[in-house]
Chain A
Amino acid sequence: MTILEDLRRAVGAEHVLDSGLDRFGYSYDSSHHPLVPARLPDVVVRPRTTGEVARVLALANAHGIPVTPRGAASGRTGGSVPLHGGIALTLDRMTGILEVDEANMMVTAEPGVRTMALHDACAARGLFYPPDPASWKFSTIGGNVAENAGGMRAVKYGVTRNYVMGLEVVLADGTVLETGGKAIKNVTGYDLTSLFTGSEGTLGVITRATLRLIAMPKARGVLRILFPAMDDGCRAVQRMLLEGIVPSVAELMDDLSLGAVARHRNLQLPEAAGACAIVEVDGEDGAALAAQARRIEAVAVACGALEVRVAQSQAEADDLWALRRGLSSAVGALAPDCLSEDISVPRGAFPEMVRRIRAISAKYGLPIPVFGHAGDGNLHPAVLCDLKDPGQAERAEQAVAELFAAALAVGGTLSGEHGIGLTKRPFLERALGAAGVRTLKAIKQSLDPKGILNPGKIW
C-alpha cells in the first residue's frame, strides 16, 4: 500500500479516493460504453497543481500503473473510461483562469475550467472564444483540447485546434513540457501543440492551455429555412459559402429529426418541409445582419426553400434556436436507445452521405434521423433501436459499421469532434491505413514507452 501513501503525500490525503462508491463514480463517461460491469479505477487522484500532476505521473510511470485523465467525463467515446484500472486522474480541481491577455488577445487557463466559464470571462472583456461544443456549459477546456472538440460555429470559426497557441503538458514520466506560446507565427521545431491537441490523453496530461481569442461580434441574427429535402438544404449552404456569405452556424436537420423536435415542442410546420436549416449570422450591427439575411434568403429561395423566417427579436431568435437545441433529446426520445454517431465528410459529399445513410436505414430496418453541421460536413446520424432486443442490437451494430464504411467511401472520416476513444477503435485502421496507425503507435511509443497513459484507447 505504499503507492497509495505516496499518492496521498503527492496530492493530499483527502484528494485520493479509493472507496468502492468513488471508484465507481469515476468509471464512466457519456459514451455507450456500459455502466455495468464497471471499469473501476483502483484509485481516484485529484491533483490541484502541475507539480502534483507531475509527481503522480512519475510515481505511476515508475510502477507501470495506468493513468486515465478525466475532465468532466462528458465525452461521447469512452476517452476517460479507465479501461485498465489504475489511476483515474481528475483535473477538475484545476479551475484557474490564469490570465486574460487583452494586448495579445489570448487567455491562459488550467484544464478544469468549464468552457462556458472561459467563454464568459473573455466575453466580459469583449473577447470571444468561439469553439462551442454542445457540452460547453459543463465540459472542461482541458477535455476540449484533448479531444479537439468542435461545435456549431466551426463553419466560420473553426474548432478547438484553431485556437490553441500553447500548452503545458506533463509527460508520462512526470516531465513538464511547454509547447508553442503567444507568438502567432512559430515554426520552431515540430508543432507539438497540435500533436497534443486531440491526443485523447494518450500522450500527456494537459495542465495549462493558452488560447487565441478574437473580438466579440457585436450582433447576431438567426434564420430558419425550410426546404423540401436535404439535398436542397445542402445545396443552399454550399452556394452561400461559394458566394462569400459565411454564416457563423449552418445546421441542417432531416425530416425525421424535424418531425421529432416539432412533436416535442408542439410546433406546426408545413407538411412539405423535408429539411430545415438553422442559420446564424454575426456582424457589426443590425444593418450588416439584415444585408446578410437578404442574401441568404435569395440563395435559399433559388435553391427551392419553402419558407425563410428571420428572427425579428431576441425572443424569436431563442424560439428558432430552440428547434436545434432541443434536437438531440427529441431524437433520443424516439426510441429506447439512440446510437448517435459523429462522422465527418467533405462538405461536397454531404448530400451523398445523407443518401447512403437513408439506404443503410432501409437495409437494417432501423430509423436513422440525420442532423449535423452542414457548413463543415460533420453529421450526427442517430441509429434508433432497442438494444434489449438482441436482433435489433445486432442490426444496429452492423448499421453503425456501415455508416463508418460509407463515410470513408465518400472521402470522410470516423469522427468530426468526439474522438475515437474506445467506441471507434475497431475502425481505425480502415480510416488511417496500416502506415497511419503505425505512425500513431511510433509517436505513442516514444512519448510513453511504458504505455501508462490512457491505455486501450484509439487503437
Chain B
Amino acid sequence: MSGPRPSPPDRRLLLEAKDLVSGCDRCGACLPVCPLFRVRDLERASGRGKNAIARALAEGGLEPGPEARAAVDFCLLCRACAEACPNRIPTDEAMVRVRQFFTDAAGGPPAGLALVGRALRSRRWVRLGAGALALLRRVGLDRLLPAGTAPAQFTRAAFLRAFAGPAVLGGPVPAAPAALGGRVAYFQGCGMRLLFPDAARSTLALLNGLGPAAGRDNSCCGLPHLAHGMTGTFLELARRNIALYEDADLVVTDCASCGGTLKHLAGWFAGDPDWRDRAAAFSAKVLDLTEYLVRAGYRPRARHDLTFTFHEPCHLCRGQGIRDQPRQLLAQAGRFVDMAEADSCCGGAGTFHLEHPEVAGLILERKRRNIEHTGAQVVVTACPGCLLQLTRAAEASGGRFQAIHISQVL
C-alpha cells in the first residue's frame, strides 16, 4: 500500500474554518457545556478557545505549529458548544477543516491513525478483524488485548438471564405492524461489527421481525477518516456506500455515529454535479434504528421489571435530532428514568479515548456518577463508541449497573 501523497497544506481550509467561526463573538456560552472544559478548564479546551484558534490561524495571529495542532485535536466533536451557542457556530466542522490542514501539512495522518484509517477503509480488513476478535473472545484470549480493543459484551442472552423472568425468554415477536414499505437495508458500522456483534445480531432480528431486511457488504461510514484529516478517503467511502444502497428504500443503522455521518453526506457533495443528487437521495433514506422502530409502530417484545436510563450519543441527539424515540421505546420496555446530562459526551468520541485516556476517564467518571445517581440497573445507548465507554463505566461501578445497546433490550 502506498503512503499518503504529500501535498502542500491548503490555506483555503483555514479560510473555510475561519468563515465557519466568524460569527463567534466569544461570549462564553459554550464554556459550561463543553465536556472537555469541565475537566480541563483551560481556554484552549473550550469551544470559544478553538474558534479563536481557528480564526487566528487563518489571520496569522498564531503559528500553525504542533501546539495549535494538539489543541484542535483535543476536541470531542460533540457539538455541545454549537447547541449552546446563540449564533450556532459549528466548531466541530471548523475543527475538521483545521485538522485536514494539519494532516496535509504533515504529509498525512500520524502512523497509528493512518493504519486504522487504511484498515477501516477496507471491507476485508474489517471482516477479518471482526472474525479474529470473535475467535479471541471464544477462547477467552481477548483479555490480552489492549484495553478497549475487545470490550466485554453484555449480550442479549445475558441481559435476559440477568433481568427477565422465564416467561420472556424466546417470547413471540408481535405481528409486524404495517411496514414502512419498500426494501429495508441494514447499514452495519465497523464498531458494531468489530466490537458488538451480538448487538448487531439483535438489530437484524428486530428489523427482520418487521419485514425482510438484510445487511450489505457496506464500507465504513468514513467518520474516523473525516475526523482525522483524511477527507479524501471519507469521500471515496461515501461514494461506495451511496452506490451500494442505491436500490434500497430505507437504510437503517444501529450506530448513531454512522447514522449522523450518512445523513449529512449530501452536504459534502453539494458542489459535485455527478454525486450531488445521489448523495442527497441516499442521505434522505437513512434512519436510526430507534427512529425506524417508532415510525414503524414497533412495541418491545416484553416489559422488563427493571429500570433503564439512556445515554444519548452526540451523533444521535445533536447529530440527528433524535431524543424522544429511544426514551419512548425504553419506557415501553421497562421503567425509564433520565440521568442528569444524558446528552453530554461520554468521552469516547472515536479514537479520543485512546489518545487521551486520562481525560476521557475523567469525563466518564462524571457520566458514571450521573448513571449511578438514577439507580437504574441498565444504561442503554445506541452507538458502539459510547457503549465501549459505558461498558468501562459499568465495570467501574462494581456491578451497580450494566451497559447495553438498545437493540438488545427491545
CB neighbours (8 Å) of A114 from chain B are 32
CB neighbours (8 Å) of A29 from chain B are 26
CB neighbours (8 Å) of A30 from chain B are 25-28
Question: Could you tell me if B86 and A328 are in contact, using CB atoms closer than 8 angstroms?
Answer: yes
Q: Mark B14-39, 1 if CB is under 8 A from A, else 0.
A: 00000000010111110110000000
Question: Could you tell me if A333 and B32 are in contact, using CB atoms closer than 8 angstroms?
Answer: no
Q: A20-B67, A22-B42, A35-B52 are in contact. Are A329 and B62 (CB under 8 A)?
A: no
Binds B, one of A132-140, A191-199, A290-298, A420-428: A132-140
A11 smallest CB distance to B (angstroms): 14
A244 within 8 A of B: no
A26 within 8 A of B: yes
CB neighbours (8 Å) of A24 from chain B are 52-53, 56, 61-62
Residue of B nearest to A74 (CB): B28
Q: How far is the CA of A21 from the CA of B72 in the complex (A)?
A: 11
Which of A26, A35, A138, A332 contacts B43, CB < 8 Å?
A26
CB neighbours (8 Å) of B355 from chain A are none
CB neighbours (8 Å) of A73 from chain B are 26, 28, 43
A46 smallest CB distance to B (angstroms): 9
A96 within 8 A of B: no
CB neighbours (8 Å) of B304 from chain A are none
CB neighbours (8 Å) of B42 from chain A are 17, 22, 25
CB neighbours (8 Å) of A105 from chain B are none
Question: Could you tell me if A22 and B43 are in contact, using CB atoms closer than 8 angstroms?
Answer: yes
Question: Could you tell me if B44 and A22 are in contact, using CB atoms closer than 8 angstroms?
Answer: yes
Question: Could you tell me if A25 and B44 are in contact, using CB atoms closer than 8 angstroms?
Answer: yes
Q: Mark A105-142, 1 if CB is under 8 A from B, else 0.
A: 00000000010100000000000000000010111000
Q: How far is the CA of A48 from the CA of B63 in the complex (A)?
A: 31
Report A's interface with B, CB cutoff 8 A: 17, 19-22, 24-26, 28-30, 35-38, 72-74, 92-93, 114, 116, 135, 137-139, 328-329, 332-333
Report B's interface with A, CB cutoff 8 A: 23, 25-29, 31-32, 41-44, 49, 52-53, 55-56, 59-63, 67-68, 71, 86-88
Question: Could you tell me if B27 and A25 are in contact, using CB atoms closer than 8 angstroms?
Answer: no
Q: How far is the CA of A73 from the CA of B86 in the complex (A)?
A: 17
Question: Could you tell me if A332 and B25 are in contact, using CB atoms closer than 8 angstroms?
Answer: yes
CB neighbours (8 Å) of B56 from chain A are 24, 35-36, 38
Question: Could you tell me if A19 and B67 are in contact, using CB atoms closer than 8 angstroms?
Answer: yes
The B interface is mostly helix, strand or loop, or mixed, namely loop
Which of B26, B52, B86 contacts A329, CB < 8 Å?
B86
Q: Can you name 11 A-B pairs with beta carbons within 8 Å?
A: A22-B42, A29-B26, A30-B28, A35-B52, A36-B59, A38-B61, A93-B41, A116-B32, A328-B86, A332-B23, A333-B87
The A interface is mostly helix, strand or loop, or mixed, namely loop
A94 smallest CB distance to B (angstroms): 12
A77 smallest CB distance to B (angstroms): 13
Q: How far is the CA of A321 from the CA of B362 in the complex (A)?
A: 36
Which of B27, B55, B71 contacts A36, CB < 8 Å?
B55
B23 smallest CB distance to A (angstroms): 7
Name, among B27, B44, B53, B86, the residue most crowded by chain A CB atoms within 10 Å (CB to CB). B27
A298 smallest CB distance to B (angstroms): 35
Q: A22-B42, A24-B53, A25-B42 are in contact. Are A137 and B29 (CB under 8 A)?
A: yes
Q: How far is the CA of A114 from the CA of B42 in the complex (A)?
A: 16
CB neighbours (8 Å) of B23 from chain A are 332-333
B66 smallest CB distance to A (angstroms): 10
A59 smallest CB distance to B (angstroms): 22
Q: How far is the CA of A328 from the CA of B27 in the complex (A)?
A: 12
CB neighbours (8 Å) of B52 from chain A are 24-25, 28, 35
Question: Could you tell me if A37 and B25 are in contact, using CB atoms closer than 8 angstroms?
Answer: no
Question: Could you tell me if B87 and A35 are in contact, using CB atoms closer than 8 angstroms?
Answer: no
Question: Could you tell me if A138 and B61 are in contact, using CB atoms closer than 8 angstroms?
Answer: no
Which of B25, B53, B59 contacts A21, CB < 8 Å?
B53
Q: How far is the CA of A37 from the CA of B25 in the complex (A)?
A: 16
B252 smallest CB distance to A (angstroms): 31
Question: Could you tell me if A36 and B25 are in contact, using CB atoms closer than 8 angstroms?
Answer: no
CB neighbours (8 Å) of A92 from chain B are 41
Name, among B44, B60, B87, the residue most crowded by chain A CB atoms within 10 Å (CB to CB). B44
CB neighbours (8 Å) of B86 from chain A are 328-329, 332
CB neighbours (8 Å) of B60 from chain A are 36
Closest 4 CB pairs of A and B: A25-B43, A36-B61, A74-B28, A329-B86
Q: A26-B43, A36-B56 are in contact. Are A21 and B27 (CB under 8 A)?
A: no
Question: Could you tell me if A72 and B28 are in contact, using CB atoms closer than 8 angstroms?
Answer: yes
CB neighbours (8 Å) of B67 from chain A are 19-21
Question: Could you tell me if B71 and A35 are in contact, using CB atoms closer than 8 angstroms?
Answer: no
Q: How far is the CA of A92 from the CA of B27 in the complex (A)?
A: 16
CB neighbours (8 Å) of B29 from chain A are 135, 137-138
Question: Could you tell me if B43 and A37 are in contact, using CB atoms closer than 8 angstroms?
Answer: no
Q: How far is the CA of A454 from the CA of B165 in the complex (A)?
A: 69
Residue of A nearest to B46 (CB): A25
